[in-house]
Amino acid sequence: MREAACRTVKQKSAEIADWLGTNAANGDVNSTKLLLSLAGPQTDKGRTRKSRSGGSAANDFASEPRWQEPVDKLDAETASGGRESEG
């Protein structure tokens, strides 16, 4: 089955690309995504540069430590009630 599908894609690649382009132009999101993924950068072996088993940019971003506002010394002392009593 896979071999037959590969043959069909090779034989009709221009027609498939045209069909995807038409559907993408008409607003079909899935056709747009597929067309863009097929048009993406390739290595010598025809595979995309980033393998599917690798993480995504979103996963990389999510694994980073959460950013926190810098706290200056005066704010740190007053925010937690660490201010000395008057008198």
- For 8-31, how does the pLDDT look when each residue is reduced to its tens digit (9 = 90+)? 989 999 999 999 999 999 999 999
The pLDDT value recorded for residue 65 is 76
Question: Considering the entire predicted model, what is its pTM?
Answer: 0.45
Residue with tokens 């597929």: 34
Of 18 and 81, more confident: 18
Quickly list H helices, the chain.
Answer: 2-11, 13-25, 29-39, 57-63, 73-79
Residue 77: pLDDT band (50, 70, 90) is low
With beta carbons less than 8 A apart as the criterion, state whether 35 and 19 touch.
no
